[in-house]
Structure 1
Amino acid sequence: MEEKHSLEENAIAVSESDDLEIIESNQDIISDDPVTKEDIENLVIYSRDWTIETIISQIESGNIDLNPAFQRRNVWENDKRSKLIESFIVGYPVPEVVLAEIPGKKKQYVVIDGKQRLLAIHGFFKPENKYWKGKAELKGLTIRKDLEGVSFDRLDGDDLRLLNNSDLRCTILSGYQTTAVLYDVFYRLNTGSVPLSMQELRNSLHKGDFSVFITEKTNSEIPLHAIMSLPGPDKRFKDIEVMLKFLALNFNKDKYNGNLKVFLDGFTEYANQSWSSNNKLITNACDEFDQACLLLIDIFNTPKLVGRKWVPIKDNWESRFNRSVFEVLVQYAFNIIKDGNSALFSGDNEKNDFIECIKQAFTGQEFAASVSTTTKTVEQHSIRFNVLFGILNSKFGLHYTLPQTIQ
């Protein structure tokens, strides 16, 4: 019993740590690009009560974009999806969906809030889309237990009529001057017990071949998942965001100016537009990113210490994954892989020296602060990359430089 209790406490701690990381990241993004009064001068907000039948028609016609490329990141379980369908049939109220009209595409919308509800509805009506796990059959019902195990094609009579004619309120935003408005709305609505990453909204706003590629890349098991203590593709897109920043630091056409939202949005748009000419470059870089992760795992002899902060006063590593520490380490390891120098770090002495270099960096207040507080500024990027690159270069006689975007 004690061991089980310990495992449960650890799972809760990891979940709370993940939530805190997402909340902090979301707050950073909002503070990066604050909404002004001028941004919302022409904002128009109105509501429509659409029947479920109309919702399905809007999705099928492409007017509501559910981003099918990201369906494997579906967060809900079938029990929760089933409860939603049951609520429609018995006439219970259901939370509204918030949509934003796509600029230049009248009556076409991206989902700001309520995507899981729409995926559950569409997946029940159209099970071939596989939005549900396994069969799209109702389960765990508490009121209409007679519908347990029923799929859409087995609904008939009043139940089918009630479901088709149930209303779902949709609040629609249009006339916004900048996507910062949508991020702000998303942030304000996203106050539930399971916070969602801003990367989910980025996926909806910036579609293209690159966005599909990076999702498919992280849909497969990659070393990053083990480093981030993820069992697989992250339902809240943290793995995508980490890899996206690595690619943006290396290949963005614009230098990093301290605004992470604009930097990542801009690179995503650029990579989508230039995919035909840059896809091999980015694909190869992602493969080398995987190799860099494997090299770091080999050096530390475990993924659980990669990208963690060293605490000199405790003579120990923190258990929480730290993006700022990881991005410096993986960039250095990426350079090692590109230059074919991984053999330099195959011996136990070299591995220990590498780890000692990281510990040495944490003895300096500047480096420690650069991965702990206000980590997104240009100055903090410069400090953490320059300090650790300098220590490692000096120790191993290498001459690796920072990515062009932060030089």
Structure 2
Amino acid sequence: MSTLKLFEKEEEELKFFEENEDSDNSSNNSLELLEEIAEILVTGTDWTTATLLDQLVRENIQLNPRFQRRDAWNIVRKSRFIESIILGFPIPHIVLASNQKERGKFVVLDGKQRLLTILQFYGRSETKNNNFSLRGLEFRQDLNGLSYKDLENNSDYASIIAPLDNQTIRTTLIRNWHTESFLYKIFLRLNVESTPLSPQELRQALHPGDFVNFLDDQSVNSQSLRRIFKSKEPDFRMRDNELLMRYMGFHYFLPEYRGTLKAFLDMTCKRLNKEWENKADDIREAANQFECAVESTIDIFGEKNFSRMWLSNSRTYRSQFNRAILDTMVFYFSDPIIRKGAITKKKAIDNAFKEICSSTSNGFRESVEGNTKNIGETYTRLSVWGKALREVLGIDFNVPELLENRIFFNGLH
């Protein structure tokens, strides 16, 4: 593979069974959003590279330091972006939304990698790519191997520094928005034709707090998540963070789930941020149990097959990773008693899972491959797998119950 390719990947990217967070698509919700659209203020400004850098350094444009560890672009792509600025090529615009909680500050809806690249090239980011040297340039090959400091400290490159600092980059500012649902819609529209990003990125920007910070640190350092993604680096789409967030939500608030995953995860963020001081130790322990649960799931099913659907017609596991199946596995295997019993009966557990996947009457397959976020499907997969585990292990523990389209659950023991 050529070193000049924009994306250099050492390993094949993990394929997810497609499942997007849902929002309320009712006509009433659409009318409310239309009313909000009529009130928002959208303005365009031609900020220069130097102005954007200043706004980033002063943290008026909020590029969370934790996000900066999730670097999606390699050095060649970063270098060619800087080259485009120097040459005056058209640059995709940046989209910012005002932070309703802090006047004069903005949340980034589109353009994070471009902003991070500027911050790194100017040597103002505390990341491994900070102060990187240009590489793989197509038009200004004479600049290959040079960093911003090299350019700045050599008078021969004065003609480079001025256009770089003063190049205008179109920036769109969205003000006077009222609901997160509106920003979420804009976020999805902006990313529909680009590399899809996890809504977790927007969620963390809108709901900062101690729990959110812990979750991101934990997902970065999690060895089990690194095994899932087969990567030594954090996932730049924050899908690793999202998997841990889903576990926390169902672990603490399953009875409060109402079938809308986005709202449920938003609520989880807000509640655990607020309760962090009193629940920090318990949340840390829950995260430790998540690690053990993932490791046990891998041990039982194998690294290639865990959290994938069993296809009885071909007697193989589906290649795509399934979030809903992982949710179901870690929900039970996060319990030490269940986990210990399952490890001693790995073959029987594997067979039990194949059996519920193959059944045409229990609804399990539909609950992990259809509209997986409905209350009925969420209950079905947790209930069917929980009852299968109880039968195989011979251990008495609680399984969620469904009454009037609400899930009731008071803990496993």
Which residue does 1:122 correspond to in 2?
A: 119
1:371 to 365, 368, 371: 368
Counterparts of 1:383-402 in structure 2, within 5 Å, are: 383-402=380-399
Read off the aligned partner of 1:209 and give its amino acid letter: D
Report the CA distance between 1:99 and its aligned residue: 0.1
Which residue does 1:185 correspond to in 2?
A: 186
Q: Distance in 2 between matches of 1:261 and 1:207?
A: 16
Aligned length: 386
Report the CA distance between 1:164 and its aligned residue: 1.1
Give the 3-state SS of the residue equivalent to 1:111 in structure 2: strand
**Residues 105 and 65 of structure 1, relative CA distance in 2, 3 Å threshold:** same
Q: String of CA shifts for 1:328-386, please: whole Å, max 9, x gaps.
A: 11111112x1x3x5443344xx2111112112211333111111100000010111111
1:147 to 122, 125, 143: 143
Counterparts of 1:187-202 in structure 2, within 5 Å, are: 187-202=188-203
Q: Is the 8 A contact 1:250 1:403 kept in 2?
A: no
Does residue 330 of the first structure (1) align with residue 330 of the second (2)? yes
Greater alpha carbon shift after TM alignment, 324-333 vs 391-400: 391-400
Report the CA distance between 1:231 and its aligned residue: 4.9
Which residue does 1:44 correspond to in 2?
A: 41
Does residue 136 of the first structure (1) align with residue 132 of the second (2)? yes
Q: Distance in 2 between matches of 1:307 and 1:92?
A: 45
Q: Distance in 2 between matches of 1:82 and 1:30?
A: 41
Q: String of CA shifts for 1:101-138, please: whole Å, max 9, x gaps.
A: 011422210000001000000111124522x6365111
Greater alpha carbon shift after TM alignment, 121-130 vs 75-84: 121-130
**Residues 268 and 48 of structure 1, relative CA distance in 2, 3 Å threshold:** same
1:356 to 346, 351, 360: 351
1:72 to 69, 72, 88: 69
Which residue does 2:215 correspond to in 1?
A: 214
Read off the aligned partner of 2:129 and give its amino acid letter: K
Q: Distance in 2 between matches of 1:265 and 1:63?
A: 24
Give the 3-state SS of the residue equivalent to 1:129 in structure 2: coil
Read off the aligned partner of 1:351 and give its amino acid letter: K
Using the size of structure 1 for normalisation, the TM-score is 0.88
Give the 3-state SS of the residue equivalent to 1:49 in structure 2: strand
Using the size of structure 2 for normalisation, the TM-score is 0.87
Which residue does 1:7 correspond to in 2?
A: none
Q: String of CA shifts for 1:146-202, please: whole Å, max 9, x gaps.
A: 221221122241211111111111101111121111111111110335221111111
Q: Distance in 1 between matches of 2:214 and 2:393?
A: 35
**Residues 183 and 254 of structure 1, relative CA distance in 2, 3 Å threshold:** farther
Read off the aligned partner of 1:311 and give its amino acid letter: L
Q: String of CA shifts for 1:177-235, please: whole Å, max 9, x gaps.
A: 21111111111110335221111111211112211211111112422332354554212
CA RMSD of aligned residues (A): 2.4
Which residue does 1:109 correspond to in 2?
A: 106
Counterparts of 1:246-285 in structure 2, within 5 Å, are: 246-252=247-253, 255-285=256-286
Report the CA distance between 1:261 and its aligned residue: 0.6
Give the 3-state SS of the residue equivalent to 2:119 in structure 1: helix
Q: Distance in 1 between matches of 2:334 and 2:55?
A: 45
Give the 3-state SS of the residue equivalent to 1:85 in structure 2: helix
Does residue 25 of the first structure (1) align with residue 26 of the second (2)? no
Q: String of CA shifts for 1:21-57, please: whole Å, max 9, x gaps.
A: 3xx415x357597663233232111111111111111
Q: Is the 8 A contact 2:308 2:325 kept in 1?
A: yes
Q: Is the 8 A contact 1:393 1:400 kept in 2?
A: yes
Which residue does 1:311 correspond to in 2?
A: 311
The structure where helix makes up a greater share of residues is: 1
Greater alpha carbon shift after TM alignment, 310-319 vs 94-103: 310-319
Q: Distance in 1 between matches of 2:62 and 2:267?
A: 21
Q: Is the 8 A contact 1:97 1:168 kept in 2?
A: yes
Q: Distance in 1 between matches of 2:24 and 2:137?
A: 39
Give the 3-state SS of the residue equivalent to 1:303 in structure 2: coil
Read off the aligned partner of 1:333 and give its amino acid letter: F
Percent identity at matched positions? 32
Q: Distance in 1 between matches of 2:202 and 2:234?
A: 17
Give the 3-state SS of the residue equivalent to 2:20 in structure 1: helix
Q: Distance in 1 between matches of 2:225 and 2:48?
A: 42
Report the CA distance between 1:144 and its aligned residue: 1.7
Read off the aligned partner of 1:152 and give its amino acid letter: Y
Which residue does 1:160 correspond to in 2?
A: 161
Q: Distance in 2 between matches of 1:228 and 1:384?
A: 24
Q: String of CA shifts for 1:63-120, please: whole Å, max 9, x gaps.
A: 1000111211111111111111111111111010000001142221000000100000
Report the CA distance between 1:273 and its aligned residue: 2.1
**Residues 30 and 73 of structure 1, relative CA distance in 2, 3 Å threshold:** farther
Q: Distance in 2 between matches of 1:397 and 1:38?
A: 56
Give the 3-state SS of the residue equivalent to 2:217 in structure 1: helix
Q: Distance in 2 between matches of 1:278 and 1:96?
A: 41
Which 5+ residue runs of structure 2 have no aligned equivalent?
1-9, 153-157, 409-413
Give the 3-state SS of the residue equivalent to 2:304 in structure 1: helix
Read off the aligned partner of 1:324 and give its amino acid letter: A
